[in-house]
Amino acid sequence: MSGMSEFLRSYLTVAWFGLAAVLLAGLLLWVSSLIRPSRPTREKLLTYESGVDPVGEGWSQSQVRYYIFALLFVVFDVEAVFIFPWATQLERYGAFGLAEMGLFIGVLLLGLVYAWRKGVLRWV
Amino acid sequence: MMQVLALEVPYWGQSLLRVLGGIVAVLLPAGTIVYVFLFKMMSFMQSRLGPMEAGPYGSLQLVAEVGKWLQKEDIVPERADPRIFKMAPIVVLASTFLLVAVVPFGPDAWFTNFEAGVFYALAVSSLSVLGILMAGWASANKYSLLGGLRAAGQLIAYELPMVLAVIGVIIQAETMNLQQIVVAQNAGEIFGFSGLGNPYLITQLVGFVIFMIAIQAELTQAPFDMPIAESELVSGYMTEYSGFRFLMFFIGEFATAGVFALITSVLFLGGWGVPFAWFGWTDVDSVSNWMNIVGPIIMFTKMMLIVFIIMWVRFSSPRFREDQLQRFAWKVLIPVSLGNIAITSIFKVVM
């Protein structure tokens, strides 16, 4: 392990953390499976719809608004990815960096205003 | 973390210690939050005593609860997609564990010391959306699906203000390393006065408020609890869950509250540090070793303060409507946080 860089080591630690979560959950579920009852009946396994017999499929079509908001999210999240490295080096870039990022954010703000005017931001 | 012991610990031993520390850092805050806030504070705010039977002042109630949930039958609905249904709570829990890996608790007491720690934290915190969507979809239940989709819509809408609010902090600290952000705050000064350091709570107050609102929504606590609105959606994506898998969602919710509060305290309240001017420290290497013991205690105190605010709002607010929620995020929080970035960067360059 000594040949590994600090960077990769950190990610290995992260992997151990993920593994620990899965193992902990698995262990507790295993303990639970030793002491919990299992008596499935037809009614118990029905989909729960407030006590009424379920109607139709549970997997219904969803509205397009979720899709539009997801698209908007991707646009702004990518923007954020670009702003972060800039933010750490702002003092070096000075007024030049400020103007450049002003343009960048301005264009994205225009996009938000456009979506706003189009009425996309209304959740109806 | 290992330097404190001044021993040569082999790699697997270090990793084991780290993982054990991580488990404590996830479960201890979660347990404390549930007992102190969910059981006791909520009860007092509603003029009742809360659990009193198990242990003194009901302090062993948590143990009793876990014992109860362990014995509950694990029901997987007939129509559900069993594999994804069973995986979903584990994904939610795992995202909490991955998130805590990045929190520094002292000058040497850290799990991972990423240069882009803020990036990592923000990226991993959105993993829980995946678990929630999996749960909502795999349940094959209309309420669950609606709750899962609502949760996804809400979490991505409020992730943006959260990310953008952090940029103000990055501009001031000039680094994305969480450890360095702590150092920058405690070694900093406000207009030449270093007795307080420079906690970004003061100089980034707008960012802090936006961040707090956003984590309230990310944690789906009232007034942002439409995804699990029990009166409309019968608990949304958790409807079909029972027994221990439900408890895992529950633990995940409050553990994530604790970890988000830890990250907030790192970003805005100075993290594990005390103002370095008090002891004449200048950077992270000159910090005394006893901070590795005191640091986690300071972090825990700050975490409790922040969770107190989150729970205070939760217990005293009615629920937003879904359209109000989205309008608030897109038309108020995002423009304000972009304005905050602009003002902060102008200050940074001009001053």
For the cut 60, the answer to whether the pLDDT of residue B5 exceeds it is no
Number of domains in chain B: 1
Q: Give the span between the Cα atoms of B118 and B90, in whole angstroms.
A: 24
User: Token pair of B233, please?
Assistant: 């959606």
Q: Give the span between the Cα atoms of B254 and B34, in whole angstroms.
A: 7
Shortest distance between the Cα of A48 and any Cα of chain B, in A, equals 7
pLDDT of residue B1: 45
Which residue is closest to A88 within chain B, CA to CA? B174
Please compute the mean of the pLDDT values over residues A62-79 and round it to a whole number.
79
Q: Give the span between the Cα atoms of B147 and B314, in whole angstroms.
A: 19
pLDDT of residue B331: 84
pLDDT of residue B306: 92
User: Token pair of B310, please?
Assistant: 């989150």
Maximum mean pLDDT: which of B81-95, B177-191, B230-244:
B81-95
Please compute the mean of the pLDDT values over residues B307-314 and round it to a whole number.
91
Least confidently predicted of A81-90, B25-34, B208-217, B280-289: B280-289
3-state secondary structure of B193: strand
pLDDT of residue B8: 67
pLDDT of residue B113: 82
pLDDT of residue B2: 45
pLDDT of residue B264: 92
For residue B190, report the phi and psi dihedrals to the nearest 5 degrees: -110, 115
pLDDT of residue B59: 83
Contact B106, B2 (CB under 8 A): no
Residue showing tokens 């940029």 = B167
Residues of B in contact with A87 (CB under 8 A): 167, 170-171, 341, 345
A-interface mutation test, from B159, B330, B333, B344, most A Cβ less than 10 A away: B330
Better-predicted residue by pLDDT, B9 or B271: B271
Q: Give the span between the Cα atoms of B180 and B188, in whole angstroms.
A: 11
Q: Which of residues 9-28 of A touch B (CB under 8 A)?
A: 10-14, 16-18, 20-22, 24-26, 28
| Mean pLDDT of chain A, nearest integer | 80
Contact check, Cβ <8 Å, B101/A14: yes
Residues of B in contact with A76 (CB under 8 A): 160, 334
Per the structure, the complete domain to which residue B160 belongs is given by 2-350
Contact B102, B178 (CB under 8 A): yes
pLDDT of residue A2: 52
Q: Which of residues 29-48 of A touch B (CB under 8 A)?
A: 29, 31-33, 35-40, 44-48
Please compute the mean of the pLDDT values over residues A95-116 and round it to a whole number.
84
pLDDT of residue B38: 87
pLDDT of residue B237: 81
**DSSP output for B69-105:** HHTS-----TTS-HHHHHHHHHHHHHHHHHHHTT---
pLDDT-based confidence at B4, cuts 50/70/90?
very low
Taking only the tens place, the pLDDT of each residue in B37-76 is 888 888 888 888 888 888 888 888 888 888 888 888 888 8
pLDDT of residue B211: 92
pLDDT of residue B56: 85
ipTM: 0.83
Contact A78, B156 (CB under 8 A): no
pLDDT of residue A58: 67
User: Token pair of A69, please?
Assistant: 């908001």
pTM of the model: 0.88
3-state secondary structure of B190: strand
Contact B132, B309 (CB under 8 A): no
Better-predicted residue by pLDDT, B25 or B277: B25
Residues of B in contact with A16 (CB under 8 A): 15, 18-19
Where are chain A's structural domains?
Answer: 1-38, 62-124
Taking only the tens place, the pLDDT of each residue in A7-63 is 777 788 888 888 888 998 889 888 888 888 888 888 777 777 777 777 777 677 777
| Mean pLDDT of chain B, nearest integer | 84
Maximum mean pLDDT: which of B89-93, B140-144, B218-222, B275-279:
B89-93
The percent of residues in chain A predicted with pLDDT above 70, rounded, is 94
Round the CA-based radius of gyration of chain A to a whole number and report it.
25
Please compute the mean of the pLDDT values over residues A97-117 and round it to a whole number.
85
pLDDT-based confidence at B308, cuts 50/70/90?
very high
Please compute the mean of the pLDDT values over residues B134-160 and round it to a whole number.
84
Please compute the mean of the pLDDT values over residues B159-184 and round it to a whole number.
87
Q: Which of residues 69-88 of A touch B (CB under 8 A)?
A: 69-70, 72-73, 76-77, 80, 83-84, 87-88
pLDDT-based confidence at A120, cuts 50/70/90?
confident
Sign of the CA dihedral with B29 first, then B32, B38, and B44 last? negative
Contact B342, A105 (CB under 8 A): yes
Spell out the alpha helix ranges (H) of chain A. 6-35, 64-88, 90-117
pLDDT of residue B288: 79
